[in-house]
A and B are shown apart, each in its own frame.
Chain A
């Protein structure tokens, strides 16, 4: 409290002591702080400034199948191969046929909060070892920010999973950056699609080489129409790469979409309509996450023959 008394609102005595050097020092201090603090964001912004325009162009060039087009009924999982006993992927990696007992959940904000936590709880009820590692804002697009390809081997060594469940997409709708911060590919271009496919393939290969199975969780629908378009595109790229490598892809799109294709606004729990999304219109509300986690878990159970109720 004594300190506050020193901050007199306006003191002419202090003012007399002020010199132009204060202004210079202050301006320099602010510039330095802002510069250092926002440097990564500024870098990323320079790379992604015109992403929105590019995606519009790219959409006209290439129209990847949406998950709703890929699935015939609303809650069907678009699995490349529902038979998990198949032991080889397209790259000839031998995968085990046993029922997975150790599961690693990785991803970004959704995995860190309700959805990941509820999914982990459901899996733990199957008497599985479950470890969840999530980094908000991360994905495969920005290894300069968080390099999953470097972190994953350590996680595998520490937790020896036989199944890795991945959800990234939300933060990957941006230009691809190299670990050293340089630009790899601008978002929305064909080059981006190819580079992103390569990154996904590397991730799958890293796991398959060690006999670890991988399952992708798609991204849920969102309220912003611009972002929805981007997500649909990324979802379909992941689906196609997963298909090539015999990795299951669980879509959350249908569960979270209305009949008109926009994001579902509400969900009925015990006859009471509740909000599906949080205020940001991207992350699921508690009730929404509970429903989606239950849906994902049911599909995982079918996939991996977990038998406990």
Chain B
């Protein structure tokens, strides 16, 4: 497919059709047995609605643009809401009605949850809002809109692309492979994170602890808690790295989604580095419209809380996600208040800190992030409660710490702390590929890459677990 794509450099439309059809095939074939054509139909519906309302926003009189925007956004939210939240809404409503002694009838629908729906619907919403605000240009054709929505490297798990970044790239023909060395580095790093670290963490029993906390000792539960935190990062950032690498091979650049989040020394810093495309989405389309930081301290805290409550709901339809979002909202509100107090006392919160202060902040951030993820990952609140209880009960017996898990956690932290340096060195080493390479250079790098790839696939355990973020 890549060869076919680059053989048609003089026919940009053909190139785009190749990209679109490959994206649709990529989205349909693996899920066809379970979901049939439904996921693809929804993606096409979302794309058609996006293109229609994009055109309406463009041609409408200024006073009608808001109506077109509201309708377009509502349709995207409707598609997302029906397919992601209907069952949760239905069961919660029936439970509440039963508690109140009321009768409620909501049918049980056979709804398919299409992978990636949260990502492409949010991307469409962002595009419509940006278009109305005048922050981006419209796509010139339905084909461009379709690729904007369906571009396969980022279709399943993001990053959530801004139209201002992606649409200008779609307008220009792709004639050359850009940054070959960057693409190779990103794919190799992504593979290492996903097939080695995330897979070994999964294999070493992280999920056992969350499904069955009673089988674990207190140490085992602490270990699994940090193990899951590491797994989530390796799994998701590994995917993003590969997605960015593959996009580069097709001549497109996708935004960075992670910036060493576990090297952050406070919660605010963590959210600037974790799932950056989504954090920015929340900031621009939820937090700022709510009033952002320009309101009273209480209102700012409420805004942060509401934004992160929404962040929790975005992850899925369960009380665990909502509580997790609420905990982070409260944590960030407290963090913001603390910084405001520092400013009021004439202290610059951004001033460089001592090593001890940074280390203390890092411990607090890691503990907060890891402990809050228990409620996020446990299948229900009952299990989360048992998990927390046993964690702090030194007499709890069961499976204990796994050495493999500890090694992988340490490796994940090293990637976070020295990731930039590793990337810099790899970049320097592989950059000769980008210039017109000699036969010797090509041969040297070919052998090296072969060895790295062979080592990666030889070390990986059998069976790659599914991506954790695919269910969000």
Contacts and interface: CB of A to CB of B under 8 A. Distances in A.
B184 A22 contact: no
A29 interface: yes
A111 to B, nearest CB: 10
A18 B442 CA distance: 13
A113 interface: yes
Interface stretch (A114-122, A185-193, A196-204, A232-240): A114-122
Specify which of B94, B113, B169, B211 lies most central, judged by the most chain A CB atoms within 10 Å of its CB.
B211
Interface stretch (B247-255, B330-338, B345-353): B247-255
24 contacts: A3-B256, A6-B182, A7-B179, A7-B248, A8-B253, A9-B168, A9-B169, A14-B434, A17-B436, A25-B433, A27-B3, A33-B191, A36-B457, A37-B195, A112-B211, A116-B211, A121-B212, A132-B212, A136-B463, A146-B463, A224-B33, A224-B34, A275-B87, A275-B108
A28 interface: yes
B130 interface: no
B443 to A, nearest CB: 11
A63 interface: no
A11 B446 contact: no
Contacts of B462: 40, 145-146
Interface stretch (B18-26, B170-178, B291-299, B400-408): B170-178
B162 to A, nearest CB: 12
B214 A15 contact: no
Contacts of A272: 91, 94-95, 98
B330 to A, nearest CB: 27
Given A7-B248, A26-B177, A224-B33, A33 B463 contact: no
A3 B420 contact: yes
A4 B255 contact: yes
Interface string B156-196: 00000000010011001001111110111001000100010
A117 B212 contact: yes
Interface stretch (B71-79, B232-240, B360-368, B447-455): B447-455
A113 B98 contact: no
A30 B178 contact: no
Interface centre among A10, A19, A113, A281 (most CB of B within 10 A): A10
A270 B184 CA distance: 54
A266 interface: yes
B212 A120 contact: yes
Contacts of B420: 3
Contact of B453 (A32, A112, A282): A32
Contact of A120 (B87, B179, B215, B433): B215
B435 A137 contact: no
B108 A265 contact: yes
A130 B434 CA distance: 56
Contacts of A40: 462
Interface of A: 1, 3-4, 6-11, 14-15, 17-19, 21-23, 25-30, 32-33, 36-37, 39-40, 112-114, 116-117, 120-121, 124, 130-132, 135-138, 145-146, 224, 265-266, 270-275, 279-282, 286
Nearest to A28: B446
Contact of B172 (A3, A10, A145, A286): A10
B249 A26 contact: yes
Nearest to B441: A21
Given A266-B108, A271-B98, A25 B463 contact: no
Contacts of B168: 9
B354 interface: no
B14 interface: no
B178 A10 contact: yes
A15 B379 contact: no
Contacts of B207: 112-113
A27 B98 CA distance: 60
B182 A7 contact: yes
A23 B380 CA distance: 50
Given A3-B420, A8-B253, A10-B169, 9 more contacts: A3-B256, A6-B179, A9-B168, A10-B172, A15-B176, A21-B437, A120-B212, A121-B214, A136-B463
Contacts of B310: none
A25 B169 contact: no
A29 B449 contact: yes
B384 to A, nearest CB: 14
Contacts of B3: 23, 27
Interface string B262-275: 00000000000000
A273 B215 contact: no
Contacts of B433: 22, 25
B82 interface: no
A286 B175 CA distance: 50
A110 to B, nearest CB: 11
Given A17-B434, A19-B436, A40-B462, A270 B253 contact: no
A76 B446 CA distance: 62
A114 B211 contact: yes
Contacts of B253: 7-9
Contacts of A37: 195, 457
Contacts of A29: 184, 187, 449
Nearest to A285: B87
A121 B183 CA distance: 47
A180 B214 CA distance: 38
Contacts of A7: 179, 182, 248, 253
B4 to A, nearest CB: 11
Contacts of A11: 178
Contact of A124 (B179, B182, B214, B423): B214
The list of the 3 closest CB pairs from A to B, nearest first, reads A117-B211, A117-B212, A15-B176
A230 B359 CA distance: 57
B279 interface: no
A36 B456 CA distance: 9
B2 interface: yes
Contact of A136 (B172, B180, B465): B465
B450 A32 contact: yes
Interface string B291-311: 000000000000000000000
B34 A270 contact: no
A271 B445 CA distance: 65
A15 B175 contact: yes
Contacts of B91: 272, 274
Interface string B98-112: 100000000010101
Given A10-B172, A32-B449, A286-B379, A270 B98 contact: yes
A131 B464 CA distance: 23
A132 B215 contact: yes
Interface string B110-153: 10110000000000000000000000000000000000000000
B208 A132 contact: yes
B226 to A, nearest CB: 20
Nearest to B433: A25
B2 A30 contact: yes
